Structure 1
Amino acid sequence: MLFGTTKISSSEVAGILAKAESHFFDFKDKRSIPKVEKSASAFANADGGELYVGIGDAKEKDRLSHLFKNEEDANGCVTQIFSLFNAGPEFVTCHFYEMAGRGLAILFTIHKTPFVVRTSANRTFRRQNAQDRELTSAQELTRLELEKGVHSYEDAKVEATPDELKTAETMRLFLENVTPHSDLDDFLKRERLTVDGKLKACALVLYDDNPQSLMPQAAAKVYRYKTLNLEGEREDLEGQPETIEGPAYEVIKKTVARTKQIVESIPILSSSGLVSVKYPEDAIHEVICNAVLHRDYSLNDYVHVRVFDNRIEVESPGKLAGPVTVKNILKQRFARNKKIVRLISKFPSPPNKDVGEGLNTTFKSMQELNLGRPEIVETDSSVIVRLKHEPLASKEELIIDYLKQNGVISNTKARAVCNVQSDSVIRKIFRTMIAAGELEKVPETRGTGTKYRLPVSN
């Protein structure tokens, strides 16, 4: 819990009242604590947010007419909201604001929780845009628990028996190398990898030679798009997407190898001519490894690896689990598939040997090669990591370096050198450089054939 009181001026009050309700922000009247509970539940079960209690909505004539008189008057509301977070009180904080002498408003700052937050009436809500949407069906509630990592599909029963692993080469090699040695039945029993005489999904994904026969989503797809565009279209696709199957260990290994092979075949234009794209190997490995190990296996979708002319995109099915958000992903630790993560680390040369360092390694490796920071985006049903091949040198520096090597440059060449899609961006850079005396137009060139050079001394 965090308490404190801050006196704010009329102008600061006006600033608060001017805020619009959104996916991350709401006002609630103190007269309806059940509605306050709804919003607290909704924010905690989505992406977190800020909730002012005691302030009416924008439709009311006097939005400050029902503020709390003092902290004692607000105690009941505070106690009620914190009671919803008994499983983790650190995920909600509270602060009082004295609204220009009119009374107190409470600001609850609610963080995304690794557990489901329900109201005192045992109802479950989730924030969607500026609405608190109730989840009522068993399917919706199960989906929320899977997304949060309360439960994982790795423990789901699949239609395969333990006997089917007796002929699996992956299982045999694992048992030969794991310490202490044990036979198949003892190992499955010790690790609790069966339920009602059937394998759990995690056992199938890890130890079956072809888990995709029952779980097609356990594969990865690799695409090569010959474009700089934000979205790859069918006409940009080089060849057919490749499907990589096998146990998780092999999917990671083969997907990394194939991605590297594709990337290294891409020529890019530098100041010294055409060179191969170079990404740090461990950055590619860590992003793909994370995508396979931490994905939501309940979703019927593959891990997608898309190689563009200027970046690699790795899309992993499922939202960020537990308390992990895009903002805290480098510091927060949470494994959706705890058994898969733990057991794959027992393989010889495990793909996740540096447990917990995955994306930190990626960021560090990209920085060491003077490339841009990886970009992490969370969609409604997946997490996308983009590794961009964009040198941190300024575009002006890249153009000058090219001119020192090649003498002249056109708009088309400059776009390729700078990894820029828009010719208008390059035209603006050219104008700025000409005005600064760093560039001049080559005489008697015009239109699409216009070329530029370093200034010639008189």
Structure 2
Amino acid sequence: MKKSELKTIVARGEDSLLQFKADLRNADKLAAEMVAFSNSEGGHILIGISDQGEIVGIPNSEIGRINQLISNAASQHVRSPISPVTENVLVAKGQVVIVVTIPKGMDKPYFDRNGVIWLKNGADKRRVNSKEELRRLFQMSNQFHADGLPAKAGLEALDKLLFRDFLKDVYNIDLPDSQEKLWTLLKNMNLATDDEQLNLAAVLLFSERPEWIKPQFIVKAVRYPGNTIHATEYLDSEDFDGPLQKVFDDSLAFVLRNLRKVQAGRGVNAPGSPEIPPVVFEELLVNSLIHRDYLVSAPIRIFIFDNRIEIISPGHLPDNLTVEKIRLGNSIIRNPILVSYATKGLLPYRGLGSGIKRALEEWPDIDFTDDRDGCLFTVTVQRKIEEKLKTTDISQRTSGESSGESSGKSSGK
């Protein structure tokens, strides 16, 4: 890195990826910064830059001591040890700035020597205090997944008729006739924990009333007049609960009944087709139910406006997944148990990474917003304004009538 490049970087100021240090004397404090970067998105520590962004530099005589302190902090004061990369940038005669690059951790969560987990919080850092945040860090490292967590529910929560029909349809086996055999089967199917509790996937898929156990994992849908959210005014509103398959069916029905119908070149007495192909919402709703973050205690929300339809899912895109990548069909499995059962016919799930692409093929005017600060992922399906729909419908009917007249003339010759 050249001095000019360093100045450009410093001019931007500290943020969640950049930290300034005029000097280093304390390995524990440095380790806490390293832990925060490793548990977040990685970043850089510039040693020889004051908090005010002034390039003060480090004397050449101090380089050895600071590099040793960096090495000790990374290897002895962080669990698991990390491997930072250092670069010395000459800023004046006998003065350097040491650039320490800490990569995004692959073995999260990382702890300091006192067992504290740190996360970046803007330009600062903060302790991880909640179980929810801690679980998310473990989930990001694939040490567990939310759908496999115990749901504090026993066999009394299982809808045995629903589960019996699934076993018969998919595996052609009968429901076990004893609790012991049933628990063994549930464990083998990754639907129960070793200490005989139903996990979250089992509750969401096969519980008669999942909302009694996990009331936050429902879908809330509202049709608003106009193009903005109203505090009290709405045209249609409903909450959807029950097993995941029922939630999907009811949510899809709500969206479809609030779509406009177009004749699409057919006669005026024909029932008309939805303005947006239903398969678009099939794919997007399945994607939301299967891939949402179940470590976030919040419902999926569907907002229908005159000009758009929003599906808002708890949890931003995991790991290094981006909007650009999902548009190309890339995906990361956040809830592998739910995915495995969706592929068995419980939901119209057609394969990892294919849903977004299929929705875009059917209706390209879809926007995606990955809100990492708000921990939300929003899909916005743009609607054609009503005048355009009418114009399209008239032109299609006119085209059909012209085609029919031409056809009639030809056949009469």
For this structure pair, what is the TM-score category when the shorter chain's length is used for normalisation?
0.7 to 0.9
Residue 43 (structure 1) aligned to one of 21, 34, 37: 37
Matched, 1:204 2:203: yes
Q: Partners of 1:85 and 1:326 in 2: how far apart?
A: 32
Q: Find the counterpart in structure 2 of residue 118 from structure 1.
A: 111
Percent identity, aligned pairs only, is 20
Total equivalences in the alignment: 369
Q: Find the counterpart in structure 2 of residue 419 from structure 1.
A: none
Residue type of the alignment partner of 2:165:
L
Q: Find the counterpart in structure 2 of residue 305 from structure 1.
A: 302
Q: Find the counterpart in structure 2 of residue 96 from structure 1.
A: 87
Task: State the Cα distance separating 1:194 from its structure 2 match.
Answer: 2.5
Q: Partners of 1:388 and 1:68 in 2: how far apart?
A: 62
Q: Partners of 2:383 and 2:72 in 1: how far apart?
A: 51
Q: Partners of 1:277 and 1:114 in 2: how far apart?
A: 47
Q: Find the counterpart in structure 2 of residue 27 from structure 1.
A: 20
Q: Find the counterpart in structure 2 of residue 384 from structure 1.
A: 378
Residue 160 (structure 1) aligned to one of 147, 153, 167: 153
Q: Is the 8 Å Cα contact of residues 154 and 297 (structure 1) preserved in structure 2?
A: yes
RMSD across aligned positions (CA)? 3.9
Residue type of the alignment partner of 1:43:
F
Q: Partners of 1:259 and 1:345 in 2: how far apart?
A: 23
Provide Cα deviations, 1:66-107, integer angstroms capped at 9, x if missing partner: 6797799747636854885869x8xx8746352346435325
Residue correspondence of structure 1 range 52-451 to structure 2 within 5 A:
52-59=45-52, 62-65=55-58, 74=67, 77=70, 81=74, 94=85, 96=87, 98-100=89-91, 102-108=95-101, 110-111=103-104, 115-136=108-129, 141-142=134-135, 144-145=137-138, 150-162=143-155, 164-165=157-158, 168-179=160-171, 181=173, 183-184=175-176, 185=182, 186-195=184-193, 196-229=195-228, 232-239=229-236, 241-264=237-260, 278-325=275-322, 328-329=325-326, 333-347=331-345, 350-367=347-364, 371=365, 373-389=367-383
Determine helix, strand or coil for the equivalent of 1:197: coil
Q: Partners of 2:156 and 2:131 in 1: how far apart?
A: 33
Residue type of the alignment partner of 1:294:
H
Provide Cα deviations, 1:149-180, integer angstroms capped at 9, x if missing partner: 64434333334332553x53321221112236
Residue type of the alignment partner of 1:258:
F
Task: State the Cα distance separating 1:303 from its structure 2 match.
Answer: 1.1
Q: Partners of 1:206 and 1:15 in 2: how far apart?
A: 53
Determine helix, strand or coil for the equivalent of 1:336: coil
Residue type of the alignment partner of 1:309:
D
Q: Partners of 1:360 and 1:127 in 2: how far apart?
A: 33
Task: State the Cα distance separating 1:304 from its structure 2 match.
Answer: 0.8
Determine helix, strand or coil for the equivalent of 1:374: strand
Task: State the Cα distance separating 1:127 from its structure 2 match.
Answer: 1.2
Residue type of the alignment partner of 2:314:
P
Q: Is the 8 Å Cα contact of residues 154 and 200 (structure 1) preserved in structure 2?
A: yes
Q: Partners of 2:127 and 2:5 in 1: how far apart?
A: 33
Unaligned 5+ segments in structure 2 are 177-181, 264-271, 396-413
Residue type of the alignment partner of 1:110:
P
Q: Partners of 1:67 and 1:53 in 2: how far apart?
A: 15
Residue type of the alignment partner of 2:352:
V
Determine helix, strand or coil for the equivalent of 1:347: helix
Determine helix, strand or coil for the equivalent of 2:276: coil
Task: State the Cα distance separating 1:359 from its structure 2 match.
Answer: 2.8
Q: Partners of 1:53 and 1:151 in 2: how far apart?
A: 35
Normalising by structure 1, report the TM-score. 0.67
Provide Cα deviations, 1:321-340, integer angstroms capped at 9, x if missing partner: 44445565556543232212
